[in-house]
């Protein structure tokens, strides 16, 4: 069964600190993995997209890693800001359909305190 599991479920950090969010998946055949940021009451916004051959991709203070062998990904946030408070969702796409089927994790709810 294609699944995406994220940890931790929630995380509280102080402004300026770093944090790392984890994602494990069983989706096969694998196409790509994305990290989305979803602010409360808003739609998800893409942060990074990685294919099988990519190990690391950065977008400003966000750095995503992918280990396709162990089917694990992480999202590292550097020097957190209050505006980073949001849900971070790991999404995996399979190669098996023209639909571009996405499999969503439940997200990690990050809260950044001043």
Partner 1 sequence: EADIYQTPRYLVIGTGKKITLECSQTMGHDKMYWYQQDPGMELHLIHYSYGVNSTEKGDLSSESTVSRIRTEHFPLTLESARPSHTSQYLCASAGTSGSYNEQFFGPGTRLTVL
Q: Which residues bind partner 1 (CB under 8 A)?
A: 4, 9, 31-32, 34, 36, 41-46, 49, 51, 89, 93, 98-102, 104-107, 109
Considering Cα of 55, then 59, then 60, then 64, what sign does the dihedral take?
negative
CB of 9 to partner 1, least distance (A): 8
The SS3 call for residue 82 is: helix
Of 5 and 15, the one with the shorter C-beta distance to partner 1 is 5
Q: Are strands 19-25 and 72-77 parallel, antiparallel or unpaired?
A: antiparallel
CB of 72 to partner 1, least distance (A): 18
Of 13 and 102, the one with the shorter C-beta distance to partner 1 is 102
Q: Which residues lie across from 45 on neighbouring strands? A: 37
Q: Which long-range contacts (CB under 8 A, 24 or more apart) does 47-50 make?
A: 47/75, 47/88, 48/75
Of 7 and 18, the one with the shorter C-beta distance to partner 1 is 7
CB of 102 to partner 1, least distance (A): 7
């Amino acid at each position: 069964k294609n699944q995406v599991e994220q940890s931790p479920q929630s995380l509280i950090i102080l402004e300026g600190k770093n944090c790392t969010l984890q994602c494990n998946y069983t989706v096969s055949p694998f196409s790509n993995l994305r990290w989305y940021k979803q602010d409360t009451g808003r739609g998800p916004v893409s942060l990074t997209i990685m294919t099988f051959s990519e190990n690391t991709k950065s977008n400003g203070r966000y750095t995503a890693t992918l280990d396709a062998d162990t089917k694990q990904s992480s999202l590292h946030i550097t020097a957190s800001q209050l505006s980073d408070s949001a849900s971070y969702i790991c999404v995996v796409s399979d190669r098996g359909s023209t639909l571009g089927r996405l499999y969503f994790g439940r997200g990690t709810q990050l809260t950044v305190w001043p």
